[in-house]
Amino acid sequence: MSLSSTKLPWSDSRVKLTHCPNAILVMSETNPETITKKVLVNRISERTGQTKVIVKEILQQLLDEVVDELANGNRLEFREFGVFEVRQRASRQAQNPRTLEKVDVPSRRVVKFKVGRKMRERVGMDVPPPASPVREEPVHEDPIVTSSPTPEPPTSPTTSSPF
């Protein structure tokens, strides 16, 4: 990869790679459009023939119910869409990078989302999980000569949330 063809993320909001065979690009050069609740209400209202007020109330009630159930510690499963779960993150000790002071971070509850099959297929996230590395001992004809295996390129995590 030549540096002249690369725009670095901290120097520009765009990343442009012209030749990098081992790179995994997460987003394209164009910024995705932000879809707000208002836009969704307008779309659903047009498709169903319901008023925007009714659609907005129903959508808000759905979102409120999701938040309430997660706050109660319940698991929400929407077949083919995904699963919302509340998990307890363990307490840990962190370090302030500026002062190098040790800081206790308390445990807390976090929401995890596991993508369902249809969303994974539609969004194009159907990437097989990385295979577990199996290291085989190299066969050497001369016991003095050894070779090291070539490292595999890193893979990027594929987590996503519709909210």
Each residue's pLDDT, cut to its tens digit, for the chain (163 residues) gives: 444 444 444 444 444 444 444 444 455 456 889 999 999 999 999 999 999 999 999 999 999 999 999 999 999 999 999 999 999 999 999 999 999 999 999 999 999 999 999 999 888 865 555 555 555 555 555 545 445 555 555 555 554 545 5
CB of 158 closer than 8 Å to CB of 130: no
User: Within the chain, where are the H helices?
Assistant: 37-48, 52-71, 117-123
* Spatial distance between the Cα atoms of 142 and 162, rounded to a whole number of angstroms: 56
Picking from 85, 125, 82, 89, the residue whose alpha carbon sits closest to that of residue 105 is 89
> Considering the entire predicted model, what is its pTM?
0.55
Would you state the pLDDT for residue 105? 94
Phi, psi dihedral angles at 7 (to 5 degrees): -100, 120
Terminal Cα-to-Cα distance of the chain (whole angstroms): 35
Residue 141, Cβ density class (10 Å: 0-12 exposed, 13-18 middle, ≥19 buried): exposed
Do strands 102-105 and 92-95 pair parallel, antiparallel, or not at all (unpaired)?
antiparallel
